[in-house]
Structures are given as C-alpha cells and as structure tokens.
Amino acid sequence: MRHGPIPGAHGRVRPLTLLGDDVLHAPCEEVTDFGPELAALVEDLFATMYAAQGVGLAANQIGVPLRVFVHDCPDDEEVRHVGHVVNPTLVEKDGVVLRGTEGCLSLPGLEAGTERHDHAVIEGYTVRGEPITVHGTGFFARCLQHEYDHLEGRIYADRLSGWRHRRLMRQASRASWRR
C-alpha cells in the first residue's frame, strides 16, 4: 500500500524537448530556490515522464535548464526506485561496464547499445533541500547516469561512436518527429 501522494498526480504534462534543441546540449544551472516553483516543477516532471511512459526525465527535457531529474525505474532485481534529485552530483560509477539498449524521451522511438557502469551513486537534495544519496545497480544505475548526463548537457548519442553513432543519427534524421 502506498503511503503519501502519487508523484505527478498534481503536475501537468509538458511538451518534451527533442534532439537538436539547444537546451539539451548545455549544462544546466544549479537550483537556488527550494520553494513552491521547484515542487511544481518536480510534479510536472513526474506527470510528463509517466505520460511519455519513461523511467526518468531531466528538467531540460521539458525546456527548463535546471539541475533536477525524476525517476521511476527498476533495478535488475525488479526493485522499483521512485524519486527525484535536485542539484545531483555523480559521486561514484564503478563495477562492470556493460553495453545495453538505451533510449531517451528526447529521441522518441530510437535506441542504441550504450556503455554504462553497472553501479552508480548520486548525491543531491530533495525539493525541501534535504540531502539525499541514491545508490543504483544494473538498469537503475544506467538510468541515474543517463539523467545525470542530461544535466551536464549530454545525451546518450554523445556516448556513441563509429557506426553506432552514424546509424542513430541517420535514424533520427528520418524520424517523423524531426519533420
């Protein structure tokens, strides 16, 4: 049984920014105001992520260049991790580097084999300014690294090289959302 409100229940679904939008390729700004606007942004991020059927969403993916992301993602043992991080810092990524299929709500319908560590630790704050530490393994570690990359101005395509990168960019250029 859930104790507390459902994340995103009071948020509004916002349009997603797509590949090529400048906000996806610039580092995001630190959050300095932990007031009601930040809480509303987190609610909107959850609502938008759920509407798009994603497992994570960074603020710049809805055009807001702030260091905030949300997640509702399972790890490899199917344990569900739901939360948000404000002003995150990736303090640890280690373990085995695995190439796994990765997609992104800012590149809808596209996927590519992307290398990520199978363990990650993020430190940051809640919307109320309380310090938090989030540990991720497996698929959840991939999610944490992916969302952190967004806030640094990178997308998963930036981690690809050679034929994988060329194929993804070719697919993106032909995607219906690029027209």
Q: Which of 78, 111, 147, 152 is catalytic?
A: 147
Q: Is 147 a catalytic residue?
A: yes
Q: What H or E segment, with its residue span, contains residue 55? A: none
Q: What single letter denotes the amino acid at residue 38?
A: L
- Which burial class, exposed, middle or buried, applies to 94 when counting CB atoms under 10 A from its CB (0-12, 13-18, 19+)? exposed
CA separation for the pair 87, 124 (Å, rounded):
5
Under a CB-based contact definition with an 8 Å cutoff, are residues 139 and 76 in contact? yes
Sheet holding 56-58, edge to edge: 56-58, 68-74, 80-103, 111-125, 131-137
Q: How many helices (H) and strands (E) does the chain have?
A: 3, 5
Which residues are annotated as catalytic?
147
